[in-house]
Amino acid sequence: MITAARNYIRFLLRCSRIAFVGDWRYYAWMGILTLFCLVGLNAYCKQFAYGLVTTGMSDEVSWGVYIANFTFLVGVAAAAVMMVIPVYIYDNEELHDLVIFGELLAVAAIFMCLAFVTVDLGRPDRFWHLLPGIGQLNFPSSMLSWDVLVLNGYLLLNVHICGYLLYTRYQGRKPAKWFYIPFVFIAIFWAISIHTVTAFLYVGLGGRPFWNAAIVGPRFLASAFTAGPALIILALQVIRRVTSYFISDKALLTLRSIVQVSMIINVFLLMCEVFKEFYSGNLHVISSKYLYFGLHGYHALVPWIWTAITFNLTAMVLLLLPVSRSLRWLNVSCCLAIVGIWIEKGMGLVIPGFIPTPLGAVIEYFPSLNESLICFGIWAFGMLCYTIFLRMAVPILQGKLLKSNEDEAGALGVICK
């Protein structure tokens, strides 16, 4: 028992040490990310001291980029499961190890989600009120309480699966199927649930007709399963470039087909939404009017939404054409899809729900500098986490970081690549 614990601690120590070792590009990358993190941390301290008045939010638009990013990132986290399905259900061996990269991305994304929600709180010091049993978690009535539970549960699931698979690989033994396969299947359903619960945060609000529509849930999932695998496609190519880990083009093309189908569904659902909003001409269309065409002289979001639609349509067309089999065009369409969906879920969903207010007033929202610095800081933190995870995972998967070469590594346990 004690030996097992000691071994595990040594494993963790080796992993953390290796995070500080790399080539000059690694240090430069980590340095820049740390810079953004620190600036974001400083900005958050100012927000903590002075309140949310340092953001651009108001009583009229009471959720902004924090919740927008949170919504987008829950989708990314959920989409990691999209890699799991082909591997475990369709027995696609190509993607086998890559599942871990996807799940590590999910872990980083969940960290970012939790960070975004925390910085959005007016009283983060009262977080303990959310703890079930200790606080007063309003489960099952409040969808936010569901979100608290499912997000943390998803985090634990993924940490367990990745941690177990990596540790067993490190130890050089085969992982016991019963200790991870059931969790993998639970994770598939759980991933769908985290994003559905997040969608229901919005759908359940009858007072906001822009959100109170059944299509929001399916749209969330469709856009998540477009943006998530697109991000993974890009991330895998970066891994291919900076490490010597082998990733076949076939794996990337499998992911491409997921992005392809999801984007088609996403665009179809967009068309359904647009028809429903504008054809009947009833008064509930007012938020959509603001978003697509402007309202009473206020039109801050109009260029954003049309950019997003253009990006999404272009990405869809590119993905349908065989030209996107070439990595260059695949990357272009992935970038377009990610940016388009980010805009759609952020500015295209969260903000218009507040404009006009339920009493008809229009007050627009612009994120403040401080707010933006905090967002960049959290994104940088997420990328920092993901880079560290990969810096630990890749050598393990390559067989370079092993229990058996613990002693070779020397006093500081640093392994040379």
Partner 1 sequence: MKPDPKIRAVHFVLAAVFALLAAYFFFSTSTAVPSRAKIDLVDKSFLNTATWRKSYADLVREKEDLSDFDCYGCHEKGTPPTLRFDADQKLIIPSEHKDIVMGHGTHGRNNNCFNCHNENNLEVLSARDGREIKFSESPKLCGSCHGPTYRDWEAGVHGRTSGYWDRSKGPIDRKLCVNCHDPHSPHFPGRKPAPGPHPLRDQPVAHIELESHP
Partner 2 sequence: MSTPENQPNGEPETPGMSRRSFLRNSAVFATGLAAMAASLRPLFETTDFPSSEQFLQKYYKELNPEEMQKVLTRIEGEVERQYGIRPHVRDYKPMDGVEYVYCLNLTRCIGCRKCVHACVAENNQSRDPEIQYIRVLRMPHGSLDIEKAEHNYAPEQVPEKGYFYMPVQCQQCHNPPCVKVCPVHATWQETDGITVVDYNWCIGCRYCEAACPYWARRFNFTKPSIPKDRINPEMSYLGNRPRMKGVMEKCHFCIQRTRAGRYPACLEVCPAGARKFGNILDPESEVSRILKTKRVFIQLKEEMGTSPRFFYYFDV
Question: Among candidates 411, 275, 351, which has minimal Cα distance to 60?
Answer: 351
Amino acid at 405: N
Q: Which residue, 21 or 130, is less far from partner 1 as judged by CB?
A: 21
Residues 237-256 that bind partner 2 (CB under 8 A): 242-244
Q: How far is it, in rounded angstroms, from Cα 261 to Cα 264? A: 5
CB of 362 to partner 1, least distance (A): 8
- Interacting span for partner 1 (CB under 8 A) from 20-28, 132-140, 183-191, 379-387: 20-28
Residues 47-76 that bind partner 2 (CB under 8 A): 48-53, 55, 57-60, 62-63
CA-to-CA separations, 75 to 64, 134, 291, in angstroms, rounded: 17, 29, 22
Amino acid at 146: W
Residues 107-146 that bind partner 2 (CB under 8 A): 117, 120-127, 129-130, 135-138, 141-145
Question: Among candidates 33, 142, 59, 120, which has minimal Cα distance to 388?
Answer: 33
Residues 322-381 that bind partner 2 (CB under 8 A): 353-354, 356-361
Q: Which residue, 92 or 193, is less far from partner 2 as judged by CB?
A: 193
Question: Among candidates 225, 234, 224, 221, which has minimal Cα distance to 334?
Answer: 234
**Binding residues for partner 2, how many (CB under 8 A)?**
78
Q: How far is it, in rounded angstroms, from Cα 357 to Cα 295? A: 12
Hey, what are 140's tokens?
């099952």
258 CB neighbour count, 10 Å cutoff: 21
CA-to-CA separations, 315 to 9, 25, 31, 167, 309, in angstroms, rounded: 46, 30, 33, 38, 10
CB of 29 to partner 1, least distance (A): 10
Q: Does 409 bind partner 2 (CB under 8 A)?
A: yes
Q: How far is it, in rounded angstroms, from Cα 390 to Cα 97? A: 12
CA-to-CA separations, 222 to 181, 225, 296, in angstroms, rounded: 26, 5, 32
CB of 3 to partner 1, least distance (A): 37
Q: Does 383 bind partner 2 (CB under 8 A)?
A: no
Q: Does 92 bind partner 2 (CB under 8 A)?
A: no
Residues 126-155 that bind partner 1 (CB under 8 A): none
Question: Which uninterrupted H or E stretch holds 40?
Answer: helix 24-50
Q: Which residue, 48 or 366, is less far from partner 2 as judged by CB?
A: 48
Residues 281-300 that bind partner 2 (CB under 8 A): 283, 286
- Interacting span for partner 1 (CB under 8 A) from 19-27, 86-94, 99-107, 331-339: 19-27
Q: Does 414 bind partner 1 (CB under 8 A)?
A: no
- Residue 172 partner contact from partner 2, partner 1, none using kind-dependent CB cut-offs of 5 to 8 Å: none
Q: Does 150 bind partner 2 (CB under 8 A)?
A: no
- Residue 89 partner contact from partner 2, partner 1, none using kind-dependent CB cut-offs of 5 to 8 Å: none
Question: Among candidates 121, 132, 1, which has minimal Cα distance to 63?
Answer: 121
CB of 228 to partner 2, least distance (A): 25
355 CB neighbour count, 10 Å cutoff: 22
345 in Cβ contact with 223 (< 8 Å): yes
Q: Does 22 bind partner 2 (CB under 8 A)?
A: yes
Interface residue with partner 1, options 10, 13, 20, 50 (CB under 8 A): 50
> Which residues of this chain interact with partner 1, rule CB under 8 A?
23-24, 27-28, 31, 34-35, 38-39, 42-43, 46-47, 49-50, 53-54, 56, 58-61, 296-298, 361, 363-365, 368-370
